[in-house]
Amino acid sequence: MRHPGWTLAPLVALAVPAPAYAALYLTSEQALHNAFPTADSFAPSRIALSPAQWQSINSDTVAPVAEREPRAWVASSAGKPLGQLYVDEVLGKQLNIKYAVAVGLDGRVQRVDILEYRETHGYEVRNARWLAQFTGKDSSSELQLGRDVRNISGATLSCRHVTAGVRRLLAIHAAQQHGP
């Protein structure tokens, strides 16, 4: 006769939640130095947009964002601005992905980095080749997964949300440049 507890063992194993994976790849400070290696200063920058600008940007955003306003810094060298770095978070599948987008004075993406990834799957969005697709894009770029941004099988939600997040940050950057 089988022991009654043994029949429950497989069910108990299924009920135990999978461990959460959290990986910190870069800090915001490291992302600043990677994006603007010649900078000698980084000043926090407040994003000053009108309620109408926020409404327009958020109505166009398909990425579930963690914060309404991303953190931002202006990188400078010898008192001259080099560009701006934005740090934001979007939802992966269930947990947030923290990422950074460096934008040059011309309004084009210079670099995208994944700072923190907490999901068990989809971490391939950290791949340098995938992130390089954003380099040179600006607020007029389509930035649509499956069109001008390749998808990664098994990481579709992460790809979709990071892509939409980059598009959102470029819209915020463009709105700041044009004023209210």
Per-residue pLDDT reduced to its tens digit, 134-165: 999 999 999 999 899 999 998 899 999 999 99
pLDDT on residue 83: 97
Question: Is residue 129 predicted with pLDDT exceeding 80?
Answer: yes
What ranges do the domains of the chain cover?
A: 20-178
* Cβ contact 101:89 at 8 Å: no
Question: Is residue 90 predicted with pLDDT exceeding 60?
Answer: yes
pLDDT on residue 163: 94
Please state, for a pLDDT cut of 70, what percent of the chain lies above it.
83
Question: Is residue 12 predicted with pLDDT exceeding 50?
Answer: no
Q: Which residues partner with 91 through β-bridges?
A: 96
Between 109 and 14, residue with greater pLDDT: 109
Distances (CA, A) of 99 to 2, 40, 176: 52, 22, 20
Q: How many CB atoms lie within 10 A of CB 49?
A: 18
Between 97 and 65, residue with greater pLDDT: 97
pLDDT on residue 33: 96
The whole-number average pLDDT for the span 57-79 is: 82
pLDDT in tens, 70-87: 999 999 999 999 999 999
Question: Is residue 179 predicted with pLDDT exceeding 50?
Answer: yes
- What's the rounded Cα separation, in Å, for the pair 50 and 143? 24
pLDDT on residue 27: 93
